[in-house]
Structure 1
Amino acid sequence: MASFPALETLGPRIMVLGPTNSGKSTLAAALGARLGIPSIHLDQFRHLPGTDWQQRPDADFFALHDEAIALPEWVMDGSYSRLMPQRLARTTGIIVLDDSLAVRTARYVRRTLGRQRAGGLEGNRDSIKWDMLAWLWKTRNKSQHARDLATRSGLPAVFCHDRRELDALYAAWGLARP
């Protein structure tokens, strides 16, 4: 059984990293509810509501991101490496999630079936896209990069490598899935 530090050791600004469909948004929502702080899903800033994941202009996305990281408390999920330096400068703790490509692909297919989910766009117009399936394949081994970033940061960090460890984290911290 994995051992986790107390949730409070991560501080008031927690960054949740990991590959696509590893459970980042669901965990961020659960942490935000448990801690009583905003959970911020960067995908919602990057993409326009009511669309099938149409991107916002970069300037608008960057402004939303920078406004959010200036808040005193947050749980923020998503990578967006171009904005990572300023986010990392404000972060007080990092959680890195991972899971197998097969599990993450299955999650992607399930989430497009129309149910509301944490981190989804307002209007919930999602569909299976070849570009996303290709992205899942391309990023299948990227979690090591996130783990390295978390380790190098010197910040308190927690790592969950699969669903079993993630379930243990939910239990250890008394989290409920939204």
Structure 2
Amino acid sequence: MTLDDLGPRICIMGPSNSGKSTLADAISRARGLRTVHLDQLSHLPHTDWLSRSSEEFKALHDAELVGSSWVIEGNYSALLPQRLERATGFILLDVPTPVSLYRYLRRCWVKGVRLGALEGSRDSVKWSMIRHIIGATRSNRARYKRMFGDISLPKVGLTSTKALADFYRVNGLKRSCPYRHY
């Protein structure tokens, strides 16, 4: 399945630091779609990842869905039914946990423009995030895999860094990040 098969409204999900933001940006630039980073809607700008109220987040989330074309990256499974109702395609990323952990540490230590970053905030190494990547990712992976099987939209599962790189190549996508992702 190619990007053309996924249509003009694409959902991207996957574990933390799996490359969702970078892929969403590449698709957005290649296809002229609006990019929506759910972390930016869920958290208050200029804070250390302080969450908005669930009502405010839901209102911002649902307002983004009315557009005719978009690529939305992020999980927030409680609001997934609304996204899937409007989506024309779905991508699930599932890179190995060590890759996600490496990407997290790199984004905290290598300062530069990070796609999907929270405005006015700096990424810093947090033990809670490391524990989340190492621990929660395993149960989330199983849940995402079951969910992926149930989705009837055109969909792509990218379960390795090679599969992700091949998807970029086959679809003529280019990363715009200032540092290389592994």
TM-score relative to the length of structure 1: 0.93
1:64 equivalent among 51, 56, 60: 60
Q: Counterpart in 1 of 2:162?
A: 164
What is the deviation of 1:164?
Answer: 1.0
Q: Which runs of 5 or more residues in structure 1 are unaligned?
A: none
Aligned-pair distance for 1:145? Answer: 2.3
Work out which of the residue numbers 138, 143, 146 in structure 2 matches 1:145: 143
Amino acid of the residue matched to residue 55 of structure 1? S
Partner SS state of residue 112, structure 1 = helix
CA distance in 1, matches of 2:88, 2:142: 20
Kindly provide the amino acid, as one letter, of the partner of residue 166 in structure 2. A
Per the TM alignment, residue 163 of structure 1 is displaced from its structure 2 partner at its CA by 1.0
Single out whichever of 73-82 and 118-127 deviates more from structure 2.
118-127
Shift of 1:40: 0.6
- What is the CA–CA distance in structure 2 between the aligned matches of 1:124 and 1:95, rounded to whole Å? 28
How is 1:46-61 mapped onto 2 (pairs within 5 angstroms)? 46-61=42-57
Aligned to 2:133: 136
Within-5 A mapping of 1:69-88: 69-88=65-84
User: How far apart are residue 85 of structure 1 and its match?
Assistant: 1.2
Runs of 4+ in 1 over 6 A off after TM superposition: none
Give, as a single letter, the amino acid of the residue that structure 1 aligns with 2:83: R
Q: Distance in 2 between matches of 1:6 and 1:97?
A: 15
**Which runs of structure 2 are paired with 1:19-38 in the superposition (5 Å)?**
19-38=15-34
Distance 1:165 1:153 in 2: 20
Cα displacement string for residues 85-109 of structure 1 (whole angstroms, at most 9, x for unaligned residues): 1111111111111111111101001
Question: Residue 117 of structure 1 aligns to a residue in which SS?
Answer: coil
- Give the paired residue count: 174
Specify the alignment match of 2:179 in structure 1: none
Aligned counterpart in structure 2 of residue 121 of structure 1, from 118, 123, 147 = 118
Partner of 1:177 in structure 2? 175
**Equivalent position amino acid for 2:108 in 1:** T
Q: Distance in 2 between matches of 1:21 and 1:140?
A: 10
Distance 2:158 2:20 in 1: 11
1:116–1:124 Cα contact (<8 Å) kept: no
Q: Which amino acid in 1 is paired with 2:124?
A: S
Conserved? CA contact 1:97–1:143, under 8 Å: no
CA shift for structure 1 position 149? 1.7
Segments of 5+ residues of structure 2 without an aligned counterpart are: 177-182
